[in-house]
Amino acid sequence: MRTLLAALFLLHAAAAAAVSAVDDDGRRIDLPEPAERIVSLAPHATEILYAAGAGTHVVGAVSYSDWPPAARELPRVGSYDAVDYERILGLDPDLVVAWRSGNGEETVARLRKLGLTVFVSEPRSLEAIPETVERLGRLAGTPETARTTAARFRSERDHLAERYSGQPSVSVFFQIWNHPMITVNGEHLISRVIDLCGGRNVFADLDPLVPRVGTEAVIAADPEVIIAAGRGRERPQWLDDWQQWPSITAVARDNLFNVDPDVIHRASP
C-alpha cells in the first residue's frame, strides 16, 4: 500500500509540475516542468519573456534584443533572419521562442527537426500581446508575474480606447521606410495601435500586410498626419522630404512626426 501511495504521489507531483500552452501556430506546447533555459529569436519575444517574469530563464537571444537593459548581456545566437543553430544547440534550451514572419518557416521547421521545443510568437492584435505574456509565463513557471503584467497592459489599452473612442478620427499615413516606400495595412499590429489612439490608417485596405506605395498614392490619400519610424530613434531625414508637397494636409499643418521604431515595431508591452 505504501508503495502504491508513493507512486501516486510521484505521478501527482509530475502532473502538477507539467505546463502547457498553445502557440500562435495553434500548436500545443507541453513541457514536463517549467522551462529553465529559454532562447529567444526575436526582440519582441525577449521583451515579452522579461515582462512575464522569465528574464532569469533566458540564456540566449538574437541581435537587437536590447530591452530591458539586462537583455543586452545575453549571449547572441545570430539575428532574427539568420540564426546560428550550433550556438542554439550549445545553449541546451528546453524552450525556443521563434517569430514566424521574421525567422521564417524553414527556420522554425529546422529547429523542430533538431529536436527543440519551439513556441511560435506572432502577435497580430493588441489582445494577443497580454495573452502571449500569460502563455509564456505559464511555460516559464512565472504565471503570477505574467498575469500582473497582462492585467496592467489591458488596463492601459482600455484607458486609451475610452479616451479616444468618442473623438473624430485622424487620417494617418505610417511610413516604415522611404526607398521603397513601405507602410502597413489594417491587419498589421501598428495599424491597430493607430486605431486605438484615434487614428485611421489611410492604406488599411491594401494587401499585403506590409505594402509598398508611391508618392502619388500618398498625395491622393491626403493624410492629416504622417508618422515615420526609421532605423533609429533619430528623426529620419526623408520624413521632411514631404515638405515638397504642401498640398498634403499633414504637411500644411506641420503634422510630420517620428517615433522610435523599437517602441512601435515590437509586439510587446
**Same structural domain, 150 and 31:** yes
51 in the same domain as 122: yes
Q: Based on the domain organization, do 96 and 138 belong to the same domain?
A: yes
Please check whether residue 164 lies inside any domain of the structure.
no
**pLDDT confidence of 2, banded at 50, 70, 90?**
low
State the pTM of this model: 0.88
| pLDDT > 80? residue 231 | no
Report if residue 89 sits inside a domain: yes
pLDDT exceeds 70 at position 9: no
How many domains does the structure of the chain reveal? Answer: 2
Q: Which three three-digit cell numbers place residue 119?
A: 513556441
The 3-state DSSP class for residue 264 equals helix
Binning the chain into helix, strand and coil, the percentages to the nearest 5 are 45, 15, 40
Q: Are the beta carbons of 188 and 236 closer than 8 angstroms?
A: no
SS3 261: helix
Does residue 159 lie in a domain region? no
- For residue 258, the cross-strand partners are 228
Last residue of a domain, one of 154, 186, 204: 154
- Is residue 32, in this structure, part of any structural domain at all? yes
Does the pLDDT at position 1 exceed 70? no
Q: What is the CATH number of the domain that holds 69?
A: 3.40.50.1980
Q: Alpha carbon of 139 to those of 50, 93, 245: distances in Å?
A: 13, 13, 52
In a domain, 163, yes or no: no
Pair (114, 239) in one structural domain: no
Same-domain check for residues 119 and 203? no
Q: Are residues 114 and 24 in the same domain?
A: yes
Q: Which positions ≥6 away from 91 have C-beta within 8 Å?
A: 37, 39, 59, 60, 75, 77
Residues 80 and 145 in one domain: yes
- What confidence tens digit (pLDDT) does each residue in 157-210 have? 999 999 998 899 999 999 999 999 999 999 999 999 999 999 999 999 999 999
Of the candidates 155, 157, 123, the one whose C-alpha atom is nearest the C-alpha of residue 48 is 123
DSSP 3-state of 97: strand
Mean pLDDT of the chain: 93
Is 76 a member of any domain? yes
Residues 140 and 175 in one domain: no
The CA-based dihedral angle spanning residues 193, 69, 74, 85, taken in that order and rounded to the nearest 10 degrees: 20
Domain shared by 144 and 227, yes or no: no
Q: Distance (Å, rounded) from C-alpha 219 to C-alpha 244?
A: 11
185 falls within a domain: yes
Query: What domain range includes position 186?
Result: 170-260
